[in-house]
């Protein structure tokens, strides 16, 4: 049993495996560096393109629909009181749900039957995504904002709200 402690074939396999792993690690580092270098101009180009698109949009759009990259500026477009007008494409009775978006990121929901009365937080991530942190958890929703009408979709549900008051 002690004579098996050195097996030339096993030693060669270990050396080859170590060399292979070393070469693989070096290749991975090389690919990561070149990928990062290639991505940098792409990100710069995307930023330049986005800036150009924003300038074009700002020139052509009214102030209420101006696209902005600042999260605070995007969030300011939500500030106010919103009343739910439809759910899953079907109209809902007036007063079914009212949501208040405050400038400090607080979100307050009240419903006519009390089933969805809660206070949470919101954060506008970009011009089509918003994060909600509510008593049941946190999630990111898609939204489209057109003047005083916002449609929010998340977790297989879609609601449309009409702004009733700007705070």
Task: Name the fold adopted by 71-165.
Answer: Lipocalin (2.40.128)
SS3 assignment, position 148? coil
Q: CB-hemisphere CA count at 13 Å for 75?
A: 18
Q: 19 phi and psi, to 5 degrees?
A: -65, -40
- Hey, where are the domains in the chain? 2-60, 71-165
H helix and E strand count, the chain: 2, 9
Average pLDDT, the chain: 74
pTM: 0.58
pLDDT band of 167, cuts 50, 70, 90: confident
Structure tokens at 40: 């940098």
pLDDT band of 130, cuts 50, 70, 90: very high
Residue-wise pLDDT for 47-94, tens only, equals: 444 433 433 333 333 333 334 457 788 889 999 999 999 999 999 999
């Amino acid at each position: 049993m002690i004579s098996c402690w050195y097996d030339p074939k096993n030693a060669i396999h270990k050396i080859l495996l170590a060399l292979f792993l070393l070469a693989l690690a070096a290749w991975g580092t090389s690919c990561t560096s070149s990928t990062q270098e290639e991505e940098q101009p792409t990100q710069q180009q995307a930023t330049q393109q986005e800036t150009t698109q924003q300038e074009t949009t700002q020139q052509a759009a009214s102030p209420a629909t101006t696209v902005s990259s600042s999260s605070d500026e995007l969030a300011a477009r939500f500030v106010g009181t919103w009343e739910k007008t439809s759910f899953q494409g079907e109209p809902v009775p007036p007063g079914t749900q009212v949501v208040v978006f405050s400038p400090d990121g607080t979100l307050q929901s009240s419903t006519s039957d009390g089933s969805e009365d809660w206070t949470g937080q919101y954060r506008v991530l970009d011009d089509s995504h918003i994060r909600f942190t509510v008593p049941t958890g946190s999630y990111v929703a898609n939204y489209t904002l057109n003047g005083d009408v916002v449609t929010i979709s998340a977790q297989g549900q879609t609601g449309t709200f009409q702004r009733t008051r700007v705070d």
